[in-house]
Structure 1
């Protein structure tokens, strides 16, 4: 029998709560839902007013994974959707997660949350810039931190303030709050900085995606600034062997890891879901400046 629960006046059918999604840790679907209920106040501002894409992994990360931008079959009428400009589907709509009931409904589908850099009322006008720093083995998050520190200084030279989070996988994401600007302009600027970084740190950075170029280097992925692209939302769980989270980190943590080496702590800057509530208590919302109009920088 599927248990029914009420969240802020909405009745939700939550299924398979005892199902183990991460065998390595024994993490169940019920624990996943508890995580999202606990961090709802932190993740919702990052989801709200943005069309959401889902990477679904209903049988865990070892099962079938599928990415969808369309509202899933059976989406309740009370879950908001919004029209989105898509060349392949002129009348396309996507889900928006505006409140805790919508969050818990989506979490019950077992998903990663992915969002664009723009809001639904201004398609293709970005209010943030993103860099995805992805290490090519044997490079690791250590090298990603070094590149992040370099990009932080470069962005600061243009009056822009970067904030860091883990990808929830091997790398880092940098997020920069912007006075809204066309996605095309943000993309061009991000690409220019990635090319500059490769020129200045040729042994450490590559700006092109080709796998042959990436061993031992950090790929500075600027492409997620394109209007059609999305990035893992802060605080989302990832479909990985362990229940890792795309978690905000302090620049002190980034610097400490960047000064380290491969012989340091195993998997530095990897945070499992149980670590997030204590981190919020300790640090608060490290990405709060993303929502402060006074913290937004003007694109050069």
Structure 2
């Protein structure tokens, strides 16, 4: 029998809490749900009004993984959904996670949270730019940190402020808060940045996705600024061998990173970091921090 729990006035069936999801660490589903309850105050503002895509991993990272934009079967009527353009002439509904009850409902499905760079009220009008720094082995997140520091300076020269987080997988994400700007324009500017990084750091950076070019280099992926694309949200856990989280980091941490292990954060690391730093990505949510593309 599945226990029924009340969360913020909603009745939720939270199932299989003792099920081990990450065998490498023995992490259970109950521990994952506890993690999301712990980080909810920081996470929810980054999900607000952004139609969600879910990467689901119901049997852990070694089981079947599947990506879905549609509301999962059995989505409760009280979970908000919103109509989102899918093609030029078709719309579809996607989930909005706006409160603790919705967050815990989604977390119970075992998902990674992925968001677009725009809000549902203005599809394809990006309010932030993202660069996904993806290391090709033997490069690691330590090389990503070097590239991130260069990109931060390059963005600053255009009057834009960058904020960093680990992807929770192998690499890093850089975010820049923007005044609402058409996604196509943001994409073009992001590609210019990636090309400039490769020109300046040719031994370290590649801006094209071609796998043959990538061993030992950092791929600066600008494609996630396209309106149809999404990026793993801040604080989301990832379907990895260990329960790693996409974690905001300070620029001091980025600049001092000479060991990739320093940039791996597991679900138990986030509560102490939030106590110490608060939400390092809070400026992304502040209208007065939004920049304008040159």
5+ residue gaps, structure 2: none
Q: Give the TM-score, by structure 2 length.
A: 0.99
User: 2:267 corresponds to which residue?
Assistant: 273
SS at match of 2:255: helix
Distance 2:191 2:114 in 1: 21
CA displacement, residues 228-279 of structure 1 (integer Å, 9 cap, x when unaligned): 000000000000000000000000000001xx2xxx4x62200000000000
Query: C-alpha separation between the residues in 2 aligned to 1:91 and 1:205?
Result: 37
User: CA separation in 1, counterparts of 2:160 and 2:253?
Assistant: 20
2: distance between equivalents of 1:190 and 1:246?
21
Give me the CA root mean square deviation: 0.9
Partner secondary structure for residue 254 of structure 1: helix
Runs (4 or more) in structure 1 with deviation over 2 Å come to: none
How far residue 89 of structure 1 moved from its aligned partner, in angstroms, is 8.0
| Separation in 1, partners of 2:87, 2:292 | 29
* C-alpha distance in structure 2 between counterparts of 1:299 and 1:93, whole Å: 31
Partner of 2:100: 100
Q: Could you tell me how far apart the structure 1 residues matched to 2:286 and 2:46 are? A: 13
Q: Hey, what's the Cα distance between the residues in 1 that align with 2:48 and 2:20?
A: 29
Helix, strand or coil for the counterpart of 1:85?
strand
Q: 2:276 aligns with which of 264, 279, 282?
A: 282
Equivalent residue, structure 2, for 1:185: 185
**SS of 1:290's equivalent?**
helix
2:214 match: 214
My pick for the range that moved more, 85-94 or 186-195, is: 85-94
Q: For 2:157 and 2:289, how far apart are their aligned partners in 1?
A: 15
SS at match of 2:256: helix
**Aligned counterparts of 1:135 and 1:91: Cα–Cα separation in 2:** 35
Offset, 1:90 = 1.4
8 Å contact from structure 1 (residues 83, 91) kept in 2 = yes
Equivalence for 1:152: 152
Q: Distance in 2 between matches of 1:88 and 1:60?
A: 36
**What SS is found at the alignment partner of 2:241?**
coil
Structure 1, unaligned stretches of length 5 or more? none
Structure 1 residue 91 displacement after superposition: 3.2
Matches within 5 A, 1:1-300: 1-87=1-87, 90-257=90-257, 260=258, 264=259, 267-300=261-294
Instruction: Provide the secondary structure at the position in 2 that maps to 1:67.
Output: strand
**Secondary structure of residue in 1 paired with 2:148:** helix
Deviation at 1:88, TM superposition (A): 8.6
SS where residue 21 of structure 1 aligns?
A: strand
Superposition deviation, residue 131 in structure 1: 0.3
SS at match of 1:153: helix
Whole-Å separation in 1 of the counterparts to 2:53 and 2:248: 20
Count of matched residue positions in the alignment of Structure 1 and Structure 2: 294
CA distance in 1, matches of 2:262, 2:116: 27
CA contact (8 A) 1:141 1:268 kept: no
Superposition deviation, residue 200 in structure 1: 0.8
Contact 1:138–1:216 (8 Å) recurs in 2 = yes
